[in-house]
Amino acid sequence: MVLKTGKEYIESLKKRGPLKIYMLGEKVENPLENPIIRASINSVALTYDLAHSSEFSDLMTAKSIITGNTINRFCHLHQSTKDLQDKVKMQRVLGQASGTCFQRCVGMDALNAVFLTTFEIDNKFGTDYHQRFIEYIKMAENEDWVIDGCMTDPKGDRSKRPSEQKDPDVFVHVIERRDDGVVIRGAKAHQTGAVNSHEHLLMPTLAMRDAEKEFTICCAIPADAEGITYFYGRQASDLRRLDQSAEGDIDCGNPEFGGQECLVIFDDVFVPTERIFMDGESEFCSRLVESFAAYHRQSYGGCKVGVGDVLIGAAATIAEYNGVENASHIKDKLTEMVHLNETLYSCGMACSCCGQETAAGNYLVDILLANVCKQNVTRFPFEIARLLQDIAGGLFVTCPSAKELENPETRKIIEKYLVGVEGVNTIDRMKILRLIENLTLGRAAVGYLTESMHGAGSPQAQRIMIGRLANLEEKKKLAKSLAKITGE
């Protein structure tokens, strides 16, 4: 049985060699015990535990096409449009259960993209990347790995190509070639689950040109490899995680689960040949980048919808606590939140049900619709969050700290004056307010808003793809035909 539990996952992390992690100016010696990191590990652990739950195991698992084993869906190569839809459903469930980013999608999306691309490269060039990669997937399935799909380079001056940068290291590239592999240097930014992963699967960040062969590298590296340094991102309200009160860490908003971000430095890391899946075949770069992006843009039509459900639930709860749940404008705003959220879900499902089989045998989403999906994700969560702020009232940003509850004298005052409708515990009202703060301005807002904006590509990246796939010539023909324009 290859399905780990959350606990087994955490145990497996302990078996990694020591990671070099810097946070707030200090080296983190024990990431698993660090409360800030731990919350984000909890989110990942959910992806293991729900695979064992009676309610969700069907959604969370699949049958390996390589071994026939029952595996976690996060390691799965999609075999049908139903698989693609189940992926989205699974992501929604996990977003609902964690209220944040659970970090494991990017690996699943990278697996599927590299799988189909290596097949196509081999087909053209007679290389053996695909077989190598199947061996890699086998390990991933059997070890139930968390894989950090690693794409975004720091990029330096964005008006320049990789090879034109003053310091080429702002794009990962091969700096040395050995008989048994290559040595790479560079960095990957915005790596959400990096320190909670077993593996990094590196991909080029954009379509490289022929002259940029050294930048055209796709390979796998263990998270504890020699030469990697992690810089933990400083995020909104991150220190809240440290200040537990007697009531539990209410001020956190979401005491159990969290996200995170890392800058990962690859300082002359060696990669053995069997872990290289593309090396210089620049004409396949755009295929890899676009298919990975498409899978990952689909993902946002699931995970963010799940978190959106939490925002809607928080809105309905605070409305209830405030005694306004029957006001017509409140009900209308809740309806609007649901409407927007389900529109995102519709986009996630649509690019899935319109997916198609690839030459390699797995299923790829409809690329145009996946880009449309993500483009909406760069908009609607902001409006959903705005509506939540509207319904919440201002107290979620003016509320005193839960630490005031530890002093019986101040607690009495807080409980008296922050009371809502009769029958609702004032502390519960504070808890939901802090969750709202967390989701709209705090730690989870980073994932729900900024990541919705830039994760899986910034808005303009989707617009370029939509423009490219729009097939305007075909549409012009429709218009000309109806207007009886002939002879062109």
Residue 134 touching a copy of itself (CB under 8 A):
no
Residue 453 touching a copy of itself (CB under 8 A):
yes
Pull the structure tokens for residue 21. Answer: 């992690």
451 is catalytic: yes
Q: Which of 245, 280, 283, 287 binds a copy of itself (CB under 8 A)?
A: 245
Burial track 297-317 (b if 16+ CB lie within 10 A, e otherwise): bbbbbbbbbbbbbbbbbbbbb
Q: Which of 3, 53, 343, 357 binds a copy of itself (CB under 8 A)?
A: 343
Residue 61, strand partner residues: 72
Locus of tokens 């049908």 = 80
Q: Which of 122, 261, 279, 290 binds a copy of itself (CB under 8 A)?
A: 261
Q: Which of 63, 124, 178, 480 binds a copy of itself (CB under 8 A)?
A: 480
Burial track 117-155 (b if 16+ CB lie within 10 A, e otherwise): bbbbbbeeeebebbebbbebbeebbeebbbbbbbbbbbe
Which of these segments, 37-45, 54-62, 257-265, 292-300, binds a copy of itself (CB under 8 A)? Answer: 257-265
CB of 77 or CB of 319, closer to a copy of itself: 319
Which of these segments, 143-151, 202-210, 271-279, 442-450, binds a copy of itself (CB under 8 A)? Answer: 442-450
- Which of 9, 300, 345, 363 is labelled catalytic? 300
Question: How far apart are CB 96 and a copy of itself at their closest, in Å?
Answer: 5
Residue 264, strand partner residues: 188, 230
- Which of 296, 321, 345, 448 is labelled catalytic? 296
Q: Which of 334, 332, 304, 329 is nearest to 316 (CA)?
A: 334
Residue 435 touching a copy of itself (CB under 8 A):
yes
CB of 156 or CB of 222, closer to a copy of itself: 156
Q: Which of 169, 199, 212, 214 binds a copy of itself (CB under 8 A)?
A: 169
105 is catalytic: yes
486 is catalytic: no
Query: Are the beta carbons of 241 and 35 closer than 8 angstroms?
Result: yes
Backbone angles phi, psi at 127, to 5 degrees: -75, 175
Residue 339 touching a copy of itself (CB under 8 A):
yes
454 is catalytic: no
DSSP state of 449: I
Q: Output the furthest CA–CA distance in the chain (Å, rounded).
A: 87
The pattern of x and - marking residues 319 through 338 that bind a copy of itself according to CB under 8 A reads: -x-xxx-xxxx-xx-xx--x
Residue 170 touching a copy of itself (CB under 8 A):
yes
How far, CA to CA in Å, does 86 sit from each of 91, 292, 349, 353? 8, 18, 9, 10
Tell me the chain's radius of gyration from C-alpha atoms. 24
Question: How far apart are CB 33 and a copy of itself at their closest, in Å?
Answer: 20
- Which of 75, 303, 351, 373 is labelled catalytic? 303
Locus of tokens 């698993």 = 32
Locus of tokens 């190569």 = 77
Query: Are the beta carbons of 218 and 204 closer than 8 angstroms?
Result: yes
Question: How far apart are CB 390 and a copy of itself at their closest, in Å?
Answer: 6
Of the chain, the end-to-end C-alpha distance in Å amounts to: 64
Instruction: Reduce the DSSP state of residue 20 to 3 states and report it.
Output: coil
296 is catalytic: yes
Angle between helix axes 81-98 and 328-353 (nearest 10 degrees) is: 140
Which of these segments, 38-46, 163-171, 217-225, 283-291, binds a copy of itself (CB under 8 A)? Answer: 163-171
Residue 15 touching a copy of itself (CB under 8 A):
no
Query: Are the beta carbons of 466 and 368 closer than 8 angstroms?
Result: yes
Question: How far apart are CB 169 and a copy of itself at their closest, in Å?
Answer: 7
Q: Scanning residues 45 to 104, which ones bind a copy of itself (CB under 8 A)?
A: 81, 85, 96-99
Q: Scanning residues 368 to 407, which ones bind a copy of itself (CB under 8 A)?
A: 368-369, 372-373, 375-376, 378-379, 382-383, 386, 389-390, 393-404, 406-407
* Residues labelled catalytic: 101, 105, 192, 261, 296, 300, 303, 451
